[in-house]
Structures are given as C-alpha cells and as structure tokens.
Structure 1
Amino acid sequence: LLVGMTVPSLAQQTTKSTDSRPFSERIWFGGGVGLSFGTVTAIQVDPLVGYKVDQNGKLSIGLGGSYWYFRDNRFTTPYDFTAYGYRTFTRYRFIEQAYAHAEFLHMNVESNRFGAFSEIRPRIWVPHLLVGGGYVQPLGGRGSIYLQVLFDVLQDPNSIYFNQGPIFSGGVGIGF
C-alpha cells in the first residue's frame, strides 16, 4: 500500500520553465517621432513599451501613448489641431522579419475639427481599432527599425483616419 501511494505522487512533480531570460530581456521599447516645421508645423510622438509573452519572443503585448500637434499658417486665422491618447497592442512575429499587429487606440480630439476656425470645438474620446502587419530590420545588438501598414476597421466619423486608406508608419525598437 505504501508503494502504491508513492508512485502517483512522483508523477505529479512539476517541471520548471525552460525560459531563463531575465525580465529585462522580455521588455522592449520603441515608437516613432515625426517633426515638420515651417508654414505647416506637425509634431507626432508615439512611444511604446512591449513585453514578450512567450518563451521564443514571438508574441508581444504592450502599451503606448500618442501626442499629435498640427498648425497650418496658410490661412488668415491659423488652423490648430491637438490630439493625445493611449494604445494597447499585440504583435505576433510569424517569421523573424515580419509581424501581425492589432491595437486599440483611444484618442482625445477636437470634435468637428473641420468646422469654422473660430468656433469652439469640444474635445471627445474617439476609439480606433487598427490591424495590419509590419516588417522588422535588425540594426545589430538589440536595435531594429520597423515599417508597418495598418487599417482602422472601426471608421468612427470623428477619427483622423475616417475614410482613409492604409496607415503607413515606422519607427525604431530596442529589444523587439
């Protein structure tokens, strides 16, 4: 009877995870910055932080922020636009150089931003669901650059991407 109780308990031993990478190697940083100055000024800052969920680093989840500023001085009354928000995303690298991407982007924008320049434009939160894919080019070490093409599938009328085609973007990454 004692032998019969010992054998099942040996079969229930747990195996230790084979992933010995430290937390710091699972975290990656990236994003993009866009700057244009002159008659038309445009500033865009989109930082990201991701976490490699699985052992081989193919699946990542993450968070990011966004800030956009645009000013057009070609008119008697200059046109200004400011938006800010946050994003949650997931990426899956199906091969080393390519990935699928899905994100929820929530932006605070001025409603009716295409109305008269002098009218007061209240701010509203606009949801975006962006899906697509991208290409990654390693730069050496942990650095890389990426280019991606996304589509806004929600098409909210207040979205800056409303009735537009693909959204092309790119940036740099450390650890991705």
Structure 2
Amino acid sequence: MFGILQVGMLAMVLAGPMDAPVLVQASQPDSVATTPAPPPLPMTAQPKQKRVFYGGSIGMTFGNYTRFSVQPLVGYQFTPKLSGGVKGIYEYVKDKRYTPDLTASNYGGSLFSRLRFIPNAYAHAEFAYVSYEFRTASGGSERTGVPFLYLGGGLVQRLSPNASAYVEVLFDVLQDSNSPYDNWQPFVSVGVMAGF
C-alpha cells in the first residue's frame, strides 16, 4: 500500500493567539504631573469565538487499494499551548485485491488533543473509533468497529499570519486485531493549514 499523503486544511489548530493586547502608558515629569496616572488596563482573555477553530483534512491513496477520506473537525484552544476537539471520519474505499472488487464506505469519529511544547512542535493524542466494512471468507462483507489510540507529534512552520505548513507522524498504540493497517505502521500527514 502506498504511503498516505494527507493535504489538510486545519484552521488555527496550532497557531495560537495571533495578537496579544499591548499596554501603553505615558507619564509626565514630576514637576508637571497633577494627578496620578491611571492603573494599567487588565489583560483580557482571548474572546471565546477566537478560541474555537474549524478545519479538517482530505486524504487520498491510489493503486490496488484506492482510498478517499474526508475528516472535518472542530476544536477549542483551552490555553495558548493546549487545544482539543472532535473530528468526523468518512472514507470511500475501492480494494481491487479481492474478486470481485470491494467497495465500501467507512465512517467514525475521534477526540483529539494537542500540546505545543515549543512554538514549532507539538505532541498529539487522539482516540478514534471507525466502522470498517471487510470482505468475509464466503465472499460477502461485514462491518466491524475498530478503536485506535494515536500518539505522536508534529512540526509546524508559519508561512503567513493565516497559513502554516506541517508534518505529523502518529502511531496507533492499541494495535486492535481488526485494524486494516499493518502493525506499527506510521500515519504520516503533510500539508498546509489555513486560518479563516
């Protein structure tokens, strides 16, 4: 199977606050000042609507095993370094390794979190549950739910105030016996994130 190349659009997942409040205070020399300067304004938290982010990814694999996936997401930035959210998962698969070809729609969801430990690097944890359609020995097909626990991390490089390039490597540490993937196969994503 070819490596998986995902080209994603993850809006502000790793970007953090783009603008921080700046305090400016001026004072007059003592000989002229008649009233004390007002206390500095308190720092305000980032508005709730700026903490919510939307995005997702699109993935494609071609060959005897053709796959097209869409994974929309919505997340929340809890702190400048910690974010998390939910992701929907849908994939269309055409597997020519079987006779007749297996055509299936797989679907599921996941919960994820990311911790930026330095500005350009993050740790990622994600629990996913996907319902897969498999070919049976009798030539039919059946649906099986498969859990995944992805752990790994990534690097991100800002391209502009609203866009970043990233590379991410995750491993499924559960290794469920029904997983369609090889043992300890890395899940590599490379793409561009755009904030709206």
1:104 aligns with 2:100: no
Residue 25 of structure 1: which of 46, 50, 72 is its match?
Answer: 50
Residue 119 of structure 1: which of 140, 149, 154 is its match?
Answer: 140
Flag the 1:128–1:103 CA change in 2: closer, same or farther, 3 A: same
What is the CA distance between 1:67 and its match in structure 2? 1.0
SS in 2 for 1:90: strand
Flag the 1:72–1:120 CA change in 2: closer, same or farther, 3 A: closer
Relative to total residues, which structure has the larger helix share, 1 or 2? 1
1:84 aligns with 2:107: yes
Inter-partner Cα distance in structure 1 for 2:82 and 2:73: 15
Name stretches of at least 5 consecutive residues in structure 1 with no aligned partner: 1-15
Inter-partner Cα distance in structure 2 for 1:94 and 1:17: 27
1:158 aligns with 2:178: yes
Name stretches of at least 5 consecutive residues in structure 2 with no aligned partner: 1-40
Inter-partner Cα distance in structure 1 for 2:148 and 2:159: 31
TM-score by structure 2 length? 0.68
Within 5 Å, give how 1:35-74 maps onto structure 2.
35=60, 41-54=66-79, 57-73=80-96
The answer to whether the 8 Å contact 2:58/2:69 transfers is yes
CA shift digits 1:4-60 (9 cap, x unpaired)? xxxxxxxxxxxx983432122212233221235687542111122221101xx1100
The answer to whether the 8 Å contact 1:106/1:127 transfers is yes
Moved more, 131-140 or 18-27: 18-27
TM-score by structure 1 length? 0.75
What is the CA distance between 1:108 and its match in structure 2? 0.9
Inter-partner Cα distance in structure 1 for 2:46 and 2:178: 43
Inter-partner Cα distance in structure 1 for 2:101 and 2:180: 19
Identity rate, percent: 45
CA-based RMSD: 2.6
What is the CA distance between 1:95 and its match in structure 2? 1.0
Inter-partner Cα distance in structure 2 for 1:53 and 1:39: 42
SS in 1 for 2:141: coil
Number of the residue aligned with 2:152: 132
For CA contacts below 8 A with separation 6 or more, give which structure has more relative contact order. 2
Flag the 1:88–1:72 CA change in 2: closer, same or farther, 3 A: same
What is the CA distance between 1:175 and its match in structure 2? 4.5
Inter-partner Cα distance in structure 2 for 1:67 and 1:17: 45
CA shift digits 1:144-172 (9 cap, x unpaired)? 23221111111111123351422112344
